[in-house]
Amino acid sequence: MKAFPSIEDLRRSARRKVPKMFFDYAEAGSYNQETLRANRSDLEQIKLRQRVLVNVDQRDTSTRILGEKVSLPLALAPIGLGGMMHGDGEIAACRAAQAAGIPYTLSTMSICSIEDVAGAVQEPFWFQLYVMRDRGFIRELIQRAQTAKCSALMLTVDLQVLGQRHCDVRNGLTVPPEIKIRNVIDIATKPAWALSILKGRRKTFGNLAGHVKDTTNINSLAQWTASQFDPTLSWKDVEWVKSLWPGKLILKGILDVDDAKIAVTTGADAISVSNHGGRQLDGAPSAISTLPRIADAVGSEIQVLFDSGVRTGADIVRALALGARSCIIGRSYIYGLGAGGQAGVARAIEILGKELDTTMALCGVKAIAEINRDVLAEPSIATMQRPQ
């Protein structure tokens, strides 16, 4: 995988190897994709201060997330249908994360089940929870995550209803793919992908199989999701989840200062400042533009994680400078997964780790704890967002 020098190279490779329906699903944002684009363009607007003649020998990128020692301020995000980018994709991604010494989050909407992953890896992983209408089933899922010794529960709070991705409608996204001429031709030109999926242990949503009706042949993912996800979800449900989960709790999908302040009162251990990678509210601000105000508002009362748009080591420095403890990556590793399975995810993590290390050196910092707003050049979003 050394031939891939950047995440963008992994992306191009994944586009060639993964059927269009699944690549588009991974790549896209909701509706007009304004928020998706803003995530990247706002990150790129933040300029870093180049510092020279500082001794930056012996740098250290390790830190702690939720008390866990990690080699990088990075975790892998929950990705629904990760196992459609590569056979047993969730296991591959989890193994790569654990080998690199960073957390992996398994999605409720994964292909491999909690038990599949737990049986295939050495260390605990995080589990992401979507609260669905059937609360009995959600209670069971939480219990399963506990039995599997998951070390944190990440409750996603920004998907009560599903933002539409137009490409999924156009492509007729189904899981497993429908036997249509167009799909058959596409898959026939992606033999390595087809083989890996055939060899994978599951072809549909592993955590839901046997519990939720119709998961073996879902006509329309969007329709099905809309029928299962619960628009009544409220802060009361956060309390309910907390009462069932004795371990660390992360609330993922906070984008507003007022919500962040409420999150603190729930007793959750962390929030992830996120707009779901631009896949939910189109027209919402970029996640990075909201980060400094949220970080300032919650102070040290709760750990602040960040996701949505991270594609480079410089992006990690930017987010840390604006108050994040750690970043979470989605597409950056999914591209690696599509490009080369476990080795591709390992390469994605390695690329970001090396870029982070070099960026730190060129900014004149040697440790993660030294990254603060002083590493930012002015003017930048950081200064625009500072409270008056």
Ligand X SMILES: Cc1cc2nc3c(=O)[nH]c(=O)nc-3n(C[C@H](O)[C@H](O)[C@H](O)COP(=O)(O)O)c2cc1C
The residue within the footprint of ligand X, chosen from 196, 204, 308, 342 (CB under 6 A), is 308
Residues annotated as catalytic are 276
Q: Which two tokens stand for residue 5?
A: 């020098």
Part in contact with ligand X (CB under 6 A); list of ranges 2-10, 75-83, 357-365, 371-379: 75-83
- Shortest distance, position 74 Cβ to ligand X, whole Å: 11
Nearest to 360 by CA among 100, 60, 71: 60
**Other C-beta atoms within 10 Å of 258: how many?**
10
**Other C-beta atoms within 10 Å of 122: how many?**
8
Which residue's Cβ lies closest to ligand X?
330
Which is nearer to ligand X, 277 or 365 (by Cβ)?
A: 277
Nearest to 106 by CA among 84, 86, 83: 83
The residue within the footprint of ligand X, chosen from 165, 202, 252, 293 (CB under 6 A), is 252
Q: Is 318 in the site for ligand X (CB under 6 A)?
A: no
The residue within the footprint of ligand X, chosen from 33, 63, 204, 274 (CB under 6 A), is 274
Burial class (CB in 10 A: 0-12, 13-18, 19+), 191: exposed
Part in contact with ligand X (CB under 6 A); list of ranges 73-81, 188-196, 204-212, 361-369: 73-81
- Shortest distance, position 301 Cβ to ligand X, whole Å: 22
**CA torsion 60→61→64→69, rounded to 10°?**
-80
The residue within the footprint of ligand X, chosen from 17, 276, 293, 325 (CB under 6 A), is 276
Work out the angle at residue 117's Cα, subtended by the Cα atoms of residues 114 and 123, and round it to the nearest 5 degrees. 110
Query: What track of x and - describes contact with ligand X for positions 330 through 369 (by CB under 6 A)?
Result: xxx-x-----------------------------------
Contact of 286 with 41, CB cutoff 8 Å:
yes
How far is CA 80 from each of CA 25, 67, 137, 221, 361, rounded to the nearest angstrom?
A: 10, 26, 18, 11, 36
252 strand-pairing partners: 156, 272
How far is CA 49 from each of CA 134, 321, 366, 385, rounded to the nearest angstrom?
A: 51, 11, 14, 18
The residue within the footprint of ligand X, chosen from 19, 73, 80, 177 (CB under 6 A), is 80
The residue within the footprint of ligand X, chosen from 66, 79, 92, 111 (CB under 6 A), is 79
Which is nearer to ligand X, 4 or 22 (by Cβ)?
A: 22
Q: Is 95 in the site for ligand X (CB under 6 A)?
A: no
Site for ligand X in 149-178 (CB under 6 A): 156
- Binding stretches for ligand X (CB under 6 A): 25-26, 39, 77-80, 107, 109, 128, 156, 252, 274, 276-277, 279, 307-310, 329-332, 334
